[in-house]
Structure 1
Amino acid sequence: MLYSHVAGIDVHKQQVTVSVRTPDPRRAARREKTKTFRTFYADLLAMASWLVEHGVTRVAMESTGPYWWPVYSALREAGGPGLAIDVVNAAHVKAVPGRKTDVKDSQWLARLLEVGLLRGSFLPPDDIRQIRDLTRYQTKLTEERSREKQRLLKVLEAAGIKLDVVASDTFGVSGRSMLDALVAGERDSVVLAGLARGVLRNKTEDLRLALAGRFTAHHGQMIGFHLTRLDHLDQMITQVREKIGHTGHPGTTRRPGTAPSGLVALFAEQIRLLASIPGIGDRVATVIISEIGVDMSRFPSAKHLAAWAGLAPGNNESAGRRRRAGHRKGNTHVQSILIEAALASSRTRTRIGARFHRLHRRFGGRANKTAGKKAAFAVAHTLIKVIWTVLSTGRPYTDLGHDYYTRGVDPHTHARRLIAQLEAVSGKKIILVDHDGDRPDSGSPGNGESGEAA
């Protein structure tokens, strides 16, 4: 037994069930009390005071959706720093089969806690959580804007307008001018095509054909609704970005060289360190910090962080045999943003980019449709370990070069291996010829062009 005065809380939307386990002074046993409270904040404060009166020093509860937030706040307010609170993953706490009630759940949590079988989840500090709320909301707004654009394009398709076929960006300067003109009542395709700007002017004839549809007043009204909604979403996204702020370091994509502002100003140095990693920019670094924080002492190693984020490969071994196992569940926000960063790093001439292409070929290349996804996930696993190292040491990332995986390969050995593979595939004898053409060499590397002889 590790903790003598513990409590387990079974959290629901309308009520919480609390079980307290403390030593019994009259006999060598454990005394257990259970009580139910409503989830109004005043009742939660009364619950926390009740726990303090019983001398509880450690509390455990499941992370049940958003319902545990006010419970945590009430416990922190009434218990102070002397009350340790463990918010545990519900998947790690399985009730005894056949004994499933709210009371039994709270008692089971308390019993697991007192013997040290529960591990608290990672809870970032308040300033990190504020950035997390804003970055997640920004993601939701961006997704909603994409859905609204799809709805608008559906209306255009119903009206016979093929603007998205000709223009690469339907919602650019030229496309927006044409959409506004359609809403205002303009139906002449020649006039609409004349609103094109820049390189889109080269497609005037195609634009006239694309804009000559059966656009009615009803379609114009629907397009107007969608455009108003898009403008409102753009305004909301701008406000959220300004609240998040920017770091002001030269590597940022927004207002470089300006003074740091917003909530991320406190983490300008950490964002600068993360931006040194290929594929990670200012926005991605902000999301990463909002999800994992900047204090890596919470994670004993890079492998622990990768497992927490759900980017580590799964394990399924029994009787000495390893079975197929998918990756474990984790932080989906970290997963999605790092997979996005992995795809961005694949377009760089760095060690991370070389690893992506190396894994892409290993997983089947273009012949396998899932090879790109698998390679991106594996590179995301590499990125999360690099992130842990960068934040732990406080030193920027130093790239090892795009030839990291090939610089140690003997060119003569590699050439002989490739020749053997090509001969096995073609069924022909491969001869390498030097540039001067005087010294043909069969089955060994040369310095010039390669030819083949029957």
Structure 2
Amino acid sequence: MSKRKKPRSQDLDRNLRQINLNAAGIDIGADRHWVSVPLGRDDENVRSFACFTSDLYTMADWLKKCGIETVAMESTGVYWIPVFQILESRGFEVKLVNAHYVKTVPGRKTDVLDCQWLQQLHTYGLLSGSFRPEDQICALRSYIRQRDNLIKSACVHVQRMQKALTQMNIQLHRVISDITGTTGLSIIRGIVSGERNPIKLAALKDGRIKASKEKIAASLTGDYRPELVFILQQELKFYEFYQSQIADCDNQVEQCLASFTDKVDITKKPLNKPKRRGKKQPGNAPQFDLRTHLYRISGVDFTQVDGFGALTVLILLSELGLDPSRFPTVKHFTSWLGLCPSSRVTGGKVKSSKTRPVANRAANAFRMAAQTLSRSHSALGAYYRRMQTRLGAPKAITAAAHKLARIFYHLWTSGGAYTDPGINAYEQQYHDRMLKNLKKKAQAFGLELIPISNTSESVDSKTQTLAG
């Protein structure tokens, strides 16, 4: 038995070659940043800089003096953002590296060794930068994330209003679906203004409310304690303040969207009519024509896909941008989202195929869109319900989100239109696939599948032969 030939050290050195010769590494800190450049570029190849803006410009000048072209930085939190923006504006290729990927080597416990290790790894091309869209998309993303924070803050005060009403034994939420709707806010404002007559308060209901005035009046009979009414008043003011802030944020979002370059002329290629959906638009949706803006800047009407509302598409484009070239294939895209099965194989055995736990706002948007497919009369809705029956709701949401992400990527890269094949087409496709699998299993056992109609005809012919 021949022994396996060991590779020579020269072969290893030839394979592991330096790719980025003019590379630097930066370890970002809260008060100081440590920078490492290749040996021989300066008397000190490792220097530290303070976090003030003037010091960041000094850092950029020193990197230019050292002939640096590309920079890899490691950071958590938001301390890296000023450094990234200043270096990128000065013409450097900047890569933000996930700290988890470079912290697994033991023995490096200082900032100096960290920046040197980053510089060495980046020289050999062993680091990949995190995804960051273009600057215009980053501005839109900041507005959308701020808007999301405002909505979450407003929800806290809605819960406190509900708590105050419950403590007064006002069961308004039992007869109307939303206390922050037209009827709910009108009644709450009436209570805060001093009205205690349940019949007069019930008369404030909107005509679309199905509950009768008598039932609403019965729910408004409670113990109006002064301290609880005071709490209700303050929480109402907080909620209204956040609603005004959300409206201001929507104005900024609309102005930001208007600054984007048109990818399609809506006068020559007008937007199709929106699909009829069973559920109305969410109450926190912007009040301007968001769907037209998204179609104009992307060239694709993503809202034709079941589960994608205009607000969901806005979140996706603000996180992903308009340029899909950063993701070479759909597999790269779904892997970055953490929606595809992972492959943890060791010793020839599959240890786990679960999806990776990632904190990704785009992936969360796809999951939220997948949840709306439970009652959708479409092929995607039929797929979700079938997966839910087989795997349960959590895995069905992930599977449907993965399918939605693949559809989004196809539209994102091709710029085409989406056409729903329908429930019947999906069921027929599923039936054909199951029949094909059954035929393969029968052939594996040396058997053959015969349709019931053909079987009955053969039995009848045999009976006639025996009778004759």
Q: TM-score, normalised by structure 1?
A: 0.80
Which segments of 5 or more consecutive residues in structure 1 lack a partner in the other structure? 26-30, 255-259, 364-370, 418-440, 445-454
Shift of 1:239: 2.0
The aligned residue for residue 373 of structure 1 is: 394
Change (3 A) 1:99 1:171: closer
Are 1:268 and 2:324 matched, yes or no?
A: no
1:205 aligns with 2:205: no
Deviations 1:58-88 (A, max 9, x none): 11002421111111122123x32xx221111
Shift of 1:273: 3.1
Paired residue type of 2:396? A
Structure 1 residues 192 and 201: CA distance shift in structure 2, 3 A = farther
Report the AA paired with residue 135 of structure 1.
I
The Cα RMSD (Å) is 2.9
Q: 1:377 offset after TM fit, Å?
A: 1.4
Asked if 1 retains the 8 angstrom alpha-carbon contact of 2:300 and 2:416, the reply is no
CA–CA distance in structure 2, aligned partners of residues 267 and 294 of structure 1 = 11
Q: What's the offset of the Cα at 1:331?
A: 4.7
Distance in 2 of aligned mates of 1:105 and 1:134: 34
1:27-74 C-alpha deviation (Å, 9 max, x unpaired) = xxxx97111100001001101111111111111002421111111122
Residues 269 and 350 of structure 1: CA distance in aligned 2, closer, same or farther (over 3 Å): farther
Aligned partners of 1:13, 1:263: CA distance in 2, in Å?
41
Change (3 A) 1:69 1:141: same
SS across alignment from 2:423: coil
> How far did residue 201 of structure 1 move?
7.1
Alignment map for 1:81-230 (pairs within 5 Å): 83-94=92-103, 96-198=105-207, 200=209, 202-230=211-239
Q: Hey, which of these two has a bigger chunk of strand by percent?
A: 1
Specify whether residues 75 and 108 from structure 1 end up closer, same or farther in structure 2 by C-alpha distance, changes over 3 A only: same
The number of equivalent residue pairs is: 397
SS of the aligned residue for 2:213 comes to: helix
- Residue equivalent to 1:451: none
Q: What is the match of residue 300 of structure 1?
A: 328
Contact (CA 8 Å) 1:135, 1:287: kept in 2 or not?
yes
Matched with 2:305 is 277
Query: How much does 1:288 deviate?
Result: 0.8
Runs of 4+ aligned residues of structure 1 deviating over 6 Å after TM superposition are: 260-264
Whether the 8 Å contact between 2:176 and 2:211 is mirrored in structure 1 is: no
- Residue 265 of structure 1 deviates from its aligned partner by 4.2
Equivalent runs, 1:291-440 vs 2, <5 Å? 291-363=319-391, 371-408=392-429
For 1:185, the aligned partner's letter is G
Match of 2:249 among 237, 240, 243: 240
Tell whether 2:26 aligns with 1:5: no
Distance 1:217 1:200, change over 3 A: same
The alpha-carbon distance between structure 1 residues 156 and 392, as it changes in their structure 2 partners (threshold 3 A), is same
Identical pairs, percent: 31
| 1:61 and 2:111 aligned | no
Between the aligned partners of 1:75 and 1:267, the Cα distance in structure 2 is 33
Contact 2:29 2:75 in 1 (8 A): no
Question: Residue 354 of structure 1 aligns to a residue in which SS?
Answer: helix
- For 1:312, the aligned partner's letter is C
Distance 1:373 1:50 in 2: 52
- Partners of 1:251 and 1:275 within 8 A in 2: no
The verdict on how the C-alpha distance between 1:178 and 1:349 changes in structure 2, with shifts beyond 3 A counting, is closer
| Per-residue deviation, residues 167-219 of structure 1 (Å, max 9, x unmatched) | 22222222222211211222222332333332547433332332121112222
Change (3 A) 1:347 1:202: closer
1:15 aligns with 2:32: yes
Residue of structure 1 equivalent to 2:49? 37
Deviations 1:334-385 (A, max 9, x none): 122111111223333322222111111111xxxxxxx222211111111111
Paired residue type of 2:66: H
Partner letter of residue 73 of structure 2? M
2:463 corresponds to: none
CA distance in 2, matches of 1:50, 1:267: 45
Instruction: Give the AA of the match of 2:29.
Output: H
Bigger shift: 328-337 or 222-231? 328-337
Deviation at 1:231, TM superposition (A): 1.1
**Distance verdict in 2 for CA 1:360–1:250, change over 3 Å:** same
Could you tell me how far apart the structure 2 residues matched to 1:190 and 1:321 are? 70
- Work out whether residues 18 and 35 of structure 1, in 8 Å CA contact, stay in contact via their aligned partners in 2: yes
Residue-by-residue CA offset, 1:394-450 (whole Å, 9 max, x unaligned): 111233332344314669x98xx9xxxxxxxxxxxxxxxxxxxxxxx9xx9xxxxxx
1:48 to 35, 54, 60: 60
Indicate conservation of the 8 Å contact 2:24/2:68, yes or no: yes
Flag the 1:306–1:152 CA change in 2: closer, same or farther, 3 A. same
Partner of 2:5: none
